[in-house]
Chains A and B, each alone.
Chain A
């Protein structure tokens, strides 16, 4: 469920656990211009959050979950 990778898109859904962090990092490394779709995501582990913050990539779809959207928008838009 949680994370699915399509050709050039990573789709986050539900709760993303810490165990996905390494795979995400590796995938981001291979795909410099990915499409990040977090629409169905409800929570992601702090380790994932770090990866996203460090990667400084645009988010294609922000989470539908308002709580998470708020947090992510503030975290990922800090310069």
Chain B
């Protein structure tokens, strides 16, 4: 199986699971807009993915699902039990298809029929919704085509042929009449009905006619398909269904029985003096016609030398190879040290070091070059915003001027992809909660048109995305009270917290509930989701807001996420790595400075009380940490959910760049570890995740 298909299947399954889960949640909270838009997004992603492959049935059902959900999301149709039932049924069908694809089967004719039926039943619900006239759904996909094709014009068939067919029918050989009426907008979907008709297997008779009388040539719209194809084929039903599987709703296939053939009035055999193609004659020529354009296309195409399309997997392989190279290279300094200390040849040690410097430089450049290949401009993500902003602002009755800057800023493909969803979320928030309606703005003495600026820039190895609006901002007072009411902060915090810190409370988990959406003056819709998505790629979000003046959000993301900078620490005669971006600082603290407050060890660091935990204790080894000869303890200061914590270790070692490999197999999912990496001397470094270690306890 193609790896990309494999990936699609696993992603699709995850998405389906989340879709089903959301549908069930929605049944409990039918009005939750957050859930609905999540649901919509998942369906949308899944549909988009399935479109990459040859799975018309899946795309068909998901397309209908998406249409239906968008109506629900816009509040034009209430979420009902009936709706949930049909959607769940459709998702079950998609799951079934996925299983068939996984098993290498699938694509059966029955599936196509089921897909059409399910899509129809979903669209049926949309029709029930009132006021749907303002957004027509998919013109031509199902609506404007007459429900059932009119019957095959058998009377136009020469008698000779019909006699032959009668015999075939008597012998119970397959014989089907096909009426193929392409949708009028089918050209815009890249279809060529004539080609489709010509390629139909086993055609023994055909007729092309106009679906409606031709207008005068001057009024003809060549891009509106008005053709109708009538075909008779000797191919088995399954082959025909397969052939027309992308357009099942435009095709009517009926088996030609003796009865049907006989009931047609006799036609003059002279009606067509053109000898129609018989299977035998048509076959080889049809094939020739198919081959020719391919050959010609290859000749005509200008040689494309500037661009090369490469499978992402190949790049990834290069990436992991250079990673190993960097690791292998790091072995040279060890070798140099051994040459000097163990074998006592200083000269050789120096030469190895010189050679290392060269290899180091080349490896660095190589890594850089490979990363460049994976770089994509953020404009790919940006391009959806003009439309999004226009649609949302129109819906909310607001006037918004969107400015996009720095679209050429580049970052790793994975980062760009991870950026898309949080950004959409933030922009939506800005429009929904930030920018006021024209009346309110006028009353506040602001320009009627709200401003939304999205700017990307690069800053010392990171991509910075700023989203700022000149809306009403966030009132820290409201946030404080809300956070207190929700138990996110306690009484003392409530009194002491600064306005800036208070505003950032919107990122706290549990802040984003349906209740806060409606009565919170600022943002808060799923901000923890945004933060988590950004943190997954080692990024950060900061928010500043001034009530009445606007809100600025800043996403800071690494340019790439391949090499990880870790500090190596020692504890209990073992070494571990800790990602540098989690470490605020390293400090040496005299043992005497450690105080116990209620069984908890703390120290006073720059006038602030810093709680301490020992790494041995976190790893459940009941040993005291070792101090150095000056009786000082080594502590890593890390930030966990905005709070500083000192983790006491035995000793610090060097800081290294490593290629972090996630844990696999049985170790997969062991909490407290980010993954592992190979060190220059060939040993394995386990990389800790302090956040998980502390919270897991």
Q: Which A residues fall within an 8 A CB radius of B?
A: 1, 14-15, 18, 21-22, 24-25, 28-29, 42-51, 53-56, 65-68, 70-71, 73-75, 77-78
Contact A74 to B207, CB < 8 A, known contacts A1-B296, A65-B288? yes
B215 within 8 A of A: yes
Whole-angstrom CA separation of A78 from B281 in the bound complex: 22
Q: Would you call B289 and A46 a contact (CB within 8 A)? A: no
- Fill in one digit per residue for B213-246: 1 if any A CB lies within 8 Å of its CB, else 0: 0110110101101110000000000000000000
Q: Would you call A65 and B198 a contact (CB within 8 A)? A: no
How many Å from the CB of A71 to the closest CB on chain B?
A: 6
How many Å from the CB of B301 to the closest CB on chain A?
A: 12
Q: Which B residues fall within an 8 A CB radius of A?
A: 182, 187, 192-195, 197-198, 206-210, 214-215, 217-218, 220, 222-223, 225-227, 272, 274-277, 281-282, 285-286, 288-289, 292-293, 296, 300
Q: Would you call A25 and B285 a contact (CB within 8 A)? A: no
A53 contacts which of B182, B193, B214, B292 (Cβ < 8 Å)?
B214
Whole-angstrom CA separation of A74 from B213 in the bound complex: 17
B210 contacts which of A15, A18, A53, A65 (Cβ < 8 Å)?
A53
Q: Would you call B220 and A70 a contact (CB within 8 A)? A: no
Chain A, residue nearest B198 (CB): A71
Which interface residue of B193, B217, B292 has the most chain A CB atoms within 10 A? Answer: B217
Q: Would you call B289 and A74 a contact (CB within 8 A)? A: no
Q: Would you call B187 and A74 a contact (CB within 8 A)? A: no
Q: Would you call A50 and B225 a contact (CB within 8 A)? A: yes
Q: Would you call B195 and A70 a contact (CB within 8 A)? A: no
B187 contacts which of A47, A53, A67, A78 (Cβ < 8 Å)?
A47
Residues of chain A with a CB closer than 8 A to B281's CB:
66, 70
- Interface contact tally, CB-CB below 8 A: 115
Q: Would you call B206 and A15 a contact (CB within 8 A)? A: no
Residues of chain B with a CB closer than 8 A to A21's CB:
222-223
Whole-angstrom CA separation of A15 from B290 in the bound complex: 10
How many Å from the CB of B476 to the closest CB on chain A?
A: 59
Q: Would you call B187 and A46 a contact (CB within 8 A)? A: yes
Summarize A's interface: helix, strand, loop or mixed. Answer: helix
Whole-angstrom CA separation of A68 from B209 in the bound complex: 16
Residues of chain B with a CB closer than 8 A to A65's CB:
285, 288-289
How many Å from the CB of A58 to the closest CB on chain B?
A: 15
How many Å from the CB of B320 to the closest CB on chain A?
A: 43
Whole-angstrom CA separation of A65 from B292 in the bound complex: 11
Which 6 pairs show the lowest CB-CB distances between chains A and B?
A75-B208, A46-B194, A54-B214, A67-B285, A21-B222, A15-B293
Q: Would you call A28 and B217 a contact (CB within 8 A)? A: yes
Contact A77 to B217, CB < 8 A, known contacts A49-B227, A50-B226? no
A15 contacts which of B215, B220, B292 (Cβ < 8 Å)?
B292
* Further pairs besides A43-B194, A70-B275: 8, Cβ < 8 Å: A21-B222, A51-B220, A53-B210, A66-B277, A66-B285, A67-B198, A70-B276, A74-B272
Residues of chain B with a CB closer than 8 A to A14's CB:
292-293, 296
Residues of chain A with a CB closer than 8 A to B218's CB:
29
Chain B, residue nearest A20 (CB): B222
Whole-angstrom CA separation of A50 from B198 in the bound complex: 15
Contact A68 to B274, CB < 8 A, known contacts A46-B227, A53-B208, A54-B220? no
Q: Would you call B217 and A25 a contact (CB within 8 A)? A: yes
How many Å from the CB of B184 to the closest CB on chain A?
A: 11
Residues of chain B with a CB closer than 8 A to A51's CB:
220, 222
How many Å from the CB of A76 to the closest CB on chain B?
A: 9
How many Å from the CB of B167 to the closest CB on chain A?
A: 23
Whole-angstrom CA separation of A71 from B286 in the bound complex: 11
